[in-house]
Amino acid sequence: MAGLCNALEVRDLSFAYPGTDGGETDWVLRHVGLAVPEGAFCLLVGPTGCGKTTLLRLAKPELAPVGRREGSISLFGEPLDRIAADPRESARTVGYVFQSPEGQIVCDSVWREMAFGLESLCVPRDTMRRRVAETCDFLGMGPWFRRECSELSGGQRQVLALASVLAMRPRLLLLDEPTSMLDPVAERNFASLLFRVNRELGVTVVVATHDPRPLVDYADMAVSMEGGALREVSPDALRDEPDLAEGPLPAVTLGATQVQASDAWFRYGRDDDWVLRGLDLSVSGGETRAIVGGNGSGKTTLLSLVAGVGRPQRGRVRNWLRGSQVLLPQNPKALLSQQSVLEELMEWSRNVGYGRDEAVDALDKMGMGEELLPRHPYDLSGGQQQLLAYAKLALAHPALMLLDEPTKGLDLAARRSLARALREERGRGTTVLLSTHDLAFVRAVADSVTLLFDGQEACTQATGEYFAQSWL
């Protein structure tokens, strides 16, 4: 290890986002100090909105947020400002993988995506071909190298996002919640790929995550961020399984069937494989139903058909609550269009009939304070955007909530807040249909569970019965 320097060194770093009035809001980072040795695998943990994403983005010049910054950042002994002056040097030094691959993938096919960044840096064609070939071979992408990006599973999209960054051969790799949208199998596979990147290629890896358990076995250091400051923790202290339940679900009387799928078949293109294959489903009024299954099993497609976004090519999907429904998509930015958090919450106030106090209360139930009200929604962390989108939808007082991966990017405290909010909705008689990989969350909120496999209903059972018979 002699002669190695710190891959990432942060000294007395403070940062504040600009407020809507032109001044600075409260400091997000306060006198942060961090030293990640070259070759390390570092986990960055902490509650939702604590500043993990902000810290990572500040270390990638092209993604650094606008605001007031004090202190210094250096990469491999070089000041960040010097590296930022040369895009090629920046790409060779530090790579960044986003929480959602949809926010990173820009091309229609895998091979074009792999070449896009290299072409932008004017890498010679022969060099480009070799880098793409070596990266795809290392990550096992050969079988789907010629496929369209739209045909990839969630796990494959995340691997593609990683590969397109690795093709530029960065020495430092920053990843923001890279496994939050993956099922447990894809999550473990991606974690093992990161370990190989770290150990076999010598790339320093820093991962910001709300759920470090899949990565703990590979990490040799961990730091926790709270209140805008960092402290070192042992990776072994991050292994505990969370408990989200606050006692058993109270008994409720379910109503008549409100959502029903009968022999539903759906595919996105005429020549594509069927996503849903004769799916049958029935959800009662006032029921909270969890839809589980691996990436590509049809969970998101089912929610879109229930919402009326698409129609099955064969069979039928009926929704008797469509006139009073909300849909939380996997990407909460699809719902965020205003210039501040307060404007976002108040967007539907005139039509629905609620005031500022109710909007602030909805935000408070998600564990977020009034200091965020003037902040632009895109300056929030991914987890905070998720909570804001849910709070905005809840203010509409819908009869049906359709939630696609609602705990994506949320830490334990935020997941508990969301679980508590859904239990309150259940008490009010709201029908909830949610898709998720978060089985602990399912235990805490769901009356029943439907397992999808190969586009079909593999089983539907009461939650307790489902987990009692499951061996996973």
Which stretch of DSSP H or E encloses residue 157? helix 154-166
User: Which residue type occupies 434?
Assistant: L
Q: Please write the tens of the pLDDT for every residue from 215-254.
A: 999 999 999 988 778 888 888 888 776 677 777 888 888 9
Polymer length of the chain = 472
First vs last C-alpha separation in the chain? 41
Architecture of domain 6-238: 3-Layer(aba) Sandwich (3.40)
Q: Please write the tens of the pLDDT for every residue from 432-464.
A: 999 998 888 999 999 999 999 989 999 999 999
The CATH 3.40.50.300 portion of the chain extends over 6-238, 257-469
Find which of 208-217, 326-335, 424-433 is predicted with most confidence, using mean pLDDT.
424-433
What are the E-state strand segments in 368-419? 400-404
Q: What is the pLDDT of residue 1?
A: 41
Rounded to whole angstroms, how far apart are CA atoms 54 and 65? 7
Residues contacting residue 465 through CB under 8 Å, at least 6 positions apart: none
Question: Is residue 153 pLDDT above 90, yes or no?
Answer: no
Question: Per-residue b/e over 19-53, b at no fewer than 16 CB within 10 Å?
Answer: beeeeebebbbbebebbbbbbbbbbbbbbbbbbbb
Q: Please write the tens of the pLDDT for every residue from 11-48.
A: 999 998 886 444 555 788 989 999 999 999 999 998 88
Rounded to whole angstroms, how far apart are CA atoms 212 and 230? 16
Q: Among candidates 428, 429, 449, which has minimal Cα distance to 440?
A: 449
Q: What is the pLDDT of residue 24?
A: 54
Q: What is the pLDDT of residue 74?
A: 95
| pTM: predicted TM-score of the whole model, two decimal places | 0.77
Give the mean pLDDT of 411-440. Answer: 92
Give the mean pLDDT of 258-265. Answer: 96
Question: Per-residue b/e over 172-181, b at no fewer than 16 CB within 10 Å?
Answer: bbbbbbbbbb
Rounded to whole angstroms, how far apart are CA atoms 166 and 97? 10
User: What fold characterizes domain 257-469?
Assistant: Rossmann fold (3.40.50)
Question: Is residue 104 pLDDT above 70, yes or no?
Answer: yes
Cβ atoms within 10 A of the Cβ of 170, count?
20
Question: Is residue 343 pLDDT above 60, yes or no?
Answer: yes
